[in-house]
Amino acid sequence: MIPADIRFSVAPMMDWTDRHCRALHRVLTRRARLYTEMVTTGAVLHGPRERLLGFSPIEHPVAVQLGGSNPADLAAAARIAEGYGYDEINLNVGCPSDRVQDGRFGACLMREPALVGECVAAMKAAVSVPVTVKCRIGVDDQDPEAALDALAEAVVRAGVDGLVVHARKAWLQGLSPKENRDVPPLDYGRVARLKRARPALPIAVNGGIGTLAQARARLDEVDGVMMGRAAYSDPARLIAVDPELFGEPAPVADAFEAIEAFAPYLADALAGGARLHNLTRHMLGLFNGRPGARAYRRHLATHGSRNDAGLATLREAAAHVSQADIALETTAA
């Protein structure tokens, strides 16, 4: 049976989905599965592990995404991540950046499905939590039918617990990582065909999903959807995830209530030495589209980096939206 929490997840995004971002998203939705930024095996094995892997218990269910291509190193890194309490280990086979390619991992591994299978098998042998793969439908001149089938066959044989497919090719030369998120055309049909061919394999689709209506449409074809930039840039949309996709009450009523629900986490982080700017940079889009949103963002940009910035600074920023709401109501009356 497909676990309910695969139905919706927030994509791993470098420089964005850090622990503070994930804690905010958890305030907005109890059910979405959250992912870390990609962490390389070298960083896990030799770097500052607590800074890279530490997270708040409120984030569950949360998955760690690993980058690497050496089965032994991935097994060791997965074992360490499991020790930190992650609910899932995900292997990155989708990132197209030059740095990732130079390290022989990410999207270029679409050309080496047998190696990906070895990596999955090694991680499965090392941990008891689910091991999943996030991939593309192909790279460069690969035929997406053959490339995705080969990748799926290799990881299924290795015992993979699920597949997240970004429904675009990646072009390893000639396109930047940003362009690789937009320029190659989306092919949701290819992912749907994979699901029909492998009904027992849990499959989620990623890429170009900007609204919950679009997410529901994809759920007619696959088991789950993963939303990336739309969830980050407009986090308030996550408030509707639980009622619309899981049939459960939303944890907060609106963005104002979300700020108050997030306040204890913010207070603890500030007491631990975090700067307000590093916490609220993930909240800049919280009031997107509402009167006063620009003033809210400007207030945080101007005052959030000060040494004495704290919860009061965030509440003062949100007050710009409240005041705009009152002005609109007064005008309407």
Q: Which residues are catalytic?
A: 95
Is 283 part of any known ligand binding site?
no
Is 166 part of any known ligand binding site?
yes
Q: Alpha-carbon distance 125 to 95, whole Å?
A: 25
Is 110 part of any known ligand binding site?
no
Is 285 part of any known ligand binding site?
no
Q: Alpha-carbon distance 139 to 144, whole Å?
A: 8
Is 38 part of any known ligand binding site?
no
Any idea which residue has 């993963």 for tokens?
A: 226
CA atoms within 13 A on the CB side of 201: 29
Q: Alpha-carbon distance 93 to 77, whole Å?
A: 16
Is 207 part of any known ligand binding site?
yes
> Could you give phi then psi for residue 131, rounded to 5 degrees?
-115, 125
In the structure encoding, which two tokens stand for residue 203, read together?
């499959």
Is 228 part of any known ligand binding site?
yes
Report whether 106 contacts 72 (CB < 8 A). Answer: no
Is 178 part of any known ligand binding site?
no
DSSP assignment letter at 305? T
Is 67 part of any known ligand binding site?
no
Is 14 part of any known ligand binding site?
yes
167, 169, 174, 180: CA torsion to nearest 10: 10
Q: Which residue ranges make up the annotated binding site for FMN?
A: 12-14, 65, 134, 166, 206-208, 228-229
Residues in binding site: 12-14, 65, 134, 166, 206-208, 228-229
